[in-house]
Amino acid sequence: MDGDTTLWGLLVSSFLLILAYKGYDLLWGVPRRDGSLKAIVEVKRNKRFPNGNALTAKYTGSETLDQWMITPVILYEGLLDGSNLPYFLMLLDVHASMQATSTVMLVRLAAVHALPTSLTALTIAGLGMLNQAYGAAFVYPLYCMAEIMLDAIAPTKLAFRFPITVRQTQAIWIASMIGFAFPLIFAYPWLLSLQRPLRQKIVAYYRFAPLAFAAAYFVADRVGDSLAFMHTVSAHQTLVTVLDIATVYATIGHFAALVLPLFQPKPWHALRRVFLPTSSHIRPGSQRMISDAAHRFLQYDIYVIGAAFFVWQFWVEKGWKSNDQLWLEQ
């Protein structure tokens, strides 16, 4: 790339860095200032929600692991108890988007940047764990920034690098299909039919989803020769299909969040509650304070990562278009 492109890449990366800073403040600074973060700490300490419901705090028998797994249980309890459809739809939308994004990251790390299998798995696991710890509105802009900076400073051809083996693409396919199943643990009617302690334990184990996703890719690659069921499909076509499925998967989440509120008694009010952070009024001392804050957290996620992906997509599209000949050769 020429000097102008490098400068442009650095400018875009600076914007994403600022976006990550803003995302962190929205996710953690705002809750700290309005008291909702303190309320979460209180629930963790007292093992009881503001409405009096008990918090299940033992999941594995390891106190360290249990403390690590407990936060999403506290955040999501009020979003998954059946009392608020708009809150659930935003949860579904965000997690569908994040899983689709993890799939795109896997394809790019393995097939564009051509990282070794072990390093790809470690990177995917690390990004997933950071996302769960700090939030997508902070982590994903940083990921997009890293991608753009690497390409601006040390240009890579933004196309699939061949020869990537059928075994590797098969591993990507298997891991992606397994990964797409993870957000289904939030399946609404199914979770509502469970008793609260069991539902909370299931949500707690969602913490392991990034590790399971990375492990699925690593194991599928290692035992790929004995699972060779895609030998008649080209590696290129497999990767394109995985990306297409990821797009459809995220689109379904967006579609559900946009359309299902329209069937509520007050459709436009319900739609506004799904997407507008101003609809989540944080009332100190309210029984729904934590669920309101969690919903707003997810709303900030979707807006910030949407802005980051909008910028990143233009950069990636520029790379694809500048490498049309590579596509033709493959």
Position 161 confidence tier, pLDDT thresholds 50, 70, 90: low
Asked whether residue 68 is domain-assigned, the answer is: no
212 pLDDT exceeds 60?
A: yes
Asked whether residue 310 is domain-assigned, the answer is: yes
CA 326 – CA 111 distance, rounded (Å) = 14
CA 246 – CA 140 distance, rounded (Å) = 17
The predicted-structure confidence for 109-129, as pLDDT tens digits, reads as follows: 888 888 889 999 999 999 999
Q: Are 12 and 148 a contacting pair, CB within 8 Å?
A: yes
Domain range enclosing 263: 3-38+77-329
CA 301 – CA 277 distance, rounded (Å) = 11
The predicted-structure confidence for 214-272, as pLDDT tens digits, reads as follows: 999 999 988 876 666 656 567 778 888 999 999 999 999 999 999 999 998 889 988 98
Q: What is the pLDDT of residue 288?
A: 83
CA 163 – CA 1 distance, rounded (Å) = 24
Q: What is the pLDDT of residue 329?
A: 40
Asked whether residue 66 is domain-assigned, the answer is: no
Asked whether residue 51 is domain-assigned, the answer is: no
Give the three-state DSSP class for 84: coil
317 pLDDT exceeds 50?
A: yes
Asked whether residue 295 is domain-assigned, the answer is: yes
Greater confidence (7 vs 88) lies with 88
Percent of the chain with pLDDT over 70: 85
Asked whether residue 70 is domain-assigned, the answer is: no
172 pLDDT exceeds 70?
A: yes
What amino acid is encoded at 329 in this protein? E
Look at the pTM and tell me if it is higher than 0.75. yes
Q: What is the pLDDT of residue 147?
A: 84
Asked whether residue 54 is domain-assigned, the answer is: no
Asked whether residue 290 is domain-assigned, the answer is: yes
The DSSP secondary structure of 290-324, one letter per residue, reads: HHHHHHHHHHHHHHHHHHHHHHHHHHHHHHHHTTH
3-state secondary structure 194-222: CCHHHHHHHHHHHHHHHHHHHHHHHHHHH
How many domains would you assign to the chain? 1
The predicted-structure confidence for 4-24, as pLDDT tens digits, reads as follows: 666 777 788 889 999 999 999
Position 326 confidence tier, pLDDT thresholds 50, 70, 90: very low
